[in-house]
Amino acid sequence: MKGVKKLRVAIIGAGVSGLACAHELERHGVKPDIYEQRPRSGDLVEHVGVLLQVMNRPVKDQIEEIKESCHISIKPLNLVNKVTMYAPRASGSICGKLGYLIKRGQGVDAVENQLFSLVKTPVRYNFRADCAALARKYDYVIVASGTYDITKILGCWEDVYKTWLMGATVLGSFETDEIKMWLNTEYAKSGYAYLTPFNHESASLILVVSNANRKNIVDYWKKFWQIENFTFKISSLWDWEHVSGFVYPHQVGNILFAGNAGGFMEPVLGFALFDAIRSGVYAARSIVEGGKYEDYLARLKENIWASIKLRKVLNRFTNKDYDHLIAILTAPGIKQFVYNTNLDIIKHLAGIL
C-alpha cells in the first residue's frame, strides 16, 4: 500500500459529512479533492436544526462527544430547555437540559460554515461530480452527496421513510430555548411538524408529511395552519424531499458512503447532523488506518436499526395513539424516568409501544 499521505481521495459534496471527512483526512496528512455542485457550502434554506439528547443515548452531551471523538467543535445557536408537544386532544411539556439548536444554511454561524472554516483544502465549487469517473481516477471516493442517487445506482439503498417537507421562516414571539412539536394524522399522516426559534422574533416552522409529494404538500400545509390556528407572518417559504434509507454495504470497491448517502438519517425524526459528522470521520479513518469501514460504523448502524423498528410502529399510529403517547411521555413519573436518566429509550420504545 502506498504511503497514507500520497493517497488520492475525492469527496463528493461539501456538506456536513464531506467537510467532516475532509477535516479528518487533513489531520492525517491527506489532502483530498472536494467537489461541490453548488456555488458554496451550506443548506439552500435557512433553518434551525435540533439535536435531542434522548435520540443519542448513552451519549450525554453530543457537542462534547463530537469534540472529543471527532476533534470537531460546533458552536450551537442555543440550548433546548423545553419541548412542548401537541396531539389533537393532548399536550404537555418537558423541561430540562434536553439538547441543542443548531443554525443551518448559508450564514457564517451555520454549522456547514463552521465546518468549512476548519478545512484547509479549497473546495471545487460548481462541479457536479460523476462518481464512476472519479472512482477510476482516485484511490478512494467518499460519497457525501446528502441523497440516495449514487447509493441507489450502486444497488445499496432501500427506502425506509419517504417524506415531503414544507417549511417557513415565521415571524412572531418565541422563547429562544423552547421547541414545539405537533403530531396529527390530518395534516402530517405519520409525519410531524416542529417549530425551532432563531431568536425571540423569528423561527423555522417545518411540516414533515409521509408519502407526500410536491403537488399535495401545499394542501397539507394549509390544513396544518388552519387546524393549529397560526397567525404568524411568513418571511420565506420552501419545500424539500427527505428520504431515509437502509444502506448495505457502506463500501463498494473504493467507494464509501457517508451522511445521508450512507443511510445515516434516522427515520423517526429525521435527525442526521451528528451521524453525518461521525460517518464522514469514520470513512476517513478507515482509509488512513486501513480498517473495514463497516466495523467503524457498528454503533451508528445499531442506532439506525432501533429507529427503523420504531418508525414501523409509528407508521401505524392513529390520532388516538398520539394522544396517549403524549399523555404518557409528559406524565410526571414517566417524565423523570425518560428524561432524567440515561436509558436508551429509542432502543426500547418500539417494543414498549
Ligand X SMILES: Cc1cc2nc3c(=O)[nH]c(=O)nc-3n(C[C@H](O)[C@H](O)[C@H](O)COP(=O)(O)OP(=O)(O)OC[C@H]3O[C@@H](n4cnc5c(N)ncnc54)[C@H](O)[C@@H]3O)c2cc1C
Site residues, ligand X (CB under 6 A): 12-18, 35-38, 47, 49-51, 128-129, 144-146, 165, 167, 240, 242, 259-261, 265, 270-273, 276
* Minimum distance, C-beta of residue 113 to ligand X, in the bound complex (Å): 12
* Minimum distance, C-beta of residue 156 to ligand X, in the bound complex (Å): 15
Look up residue 309 and give its three cell numbers.
423498528
* Minimum distance, C-beta of residue 320 to ligand X, in the bound complex (Å): 27
* Minimum distance, C-beta of residue 48 to ligand X, in the bound complex (Å): 7
Residue 35 or 339 having the CB closest to ligand X: 35
The amino acid sitting at 326 is: I
Residue 90 or 281 having the CB closest to ligand X: 281
Residue 271 or 293 having the CB closest to ligand X: 271
Per-residue 3-state assignment (H helix, E strand, C coil) for 223-262: HHHHHHCCCCEEEEEEEEEEEEEEECCCEECCEEECHHHH
Residue 163 or 184 having the CB closest to ligand X: 163
* Minimum distance, C-beta of residue 184 to ligand X, in the bound complex (Å): 19
Distance from C-alpha of 184 to C-alpha of 19, rounded to nearest angstrom: 37
Q: Which residues fall within 8 angstroms of residue 188, CB to CB, at 6 or more apart? A: 182, 207, 208, 209, 210, 220, 224
Q: How far lies 80's CA from each of 66, 74, 88, 98, 282, in Å?
A: 18, 15, 24, 5, 28
| DSSP category for residue 40 | S
Other CB atoms within a 10 A radius of the CB of residue 254 amount to 16
Contact 31, 318 (CB under 8 A): no
Residue 77 or 265 having the CB closest to ligand X: 265
* Minimum distance, C-beta of residue 260 to ligand X, in the bound complex (Å): 4
Residue 195 or 329 having the CB closest to ligand X: 195
User: Torsion over CA of 271, 46, 181 and 179, rounded to 10 degrees?
Assistant: 100
Closest CA to 133 of 260, 297, 12, 305: 12
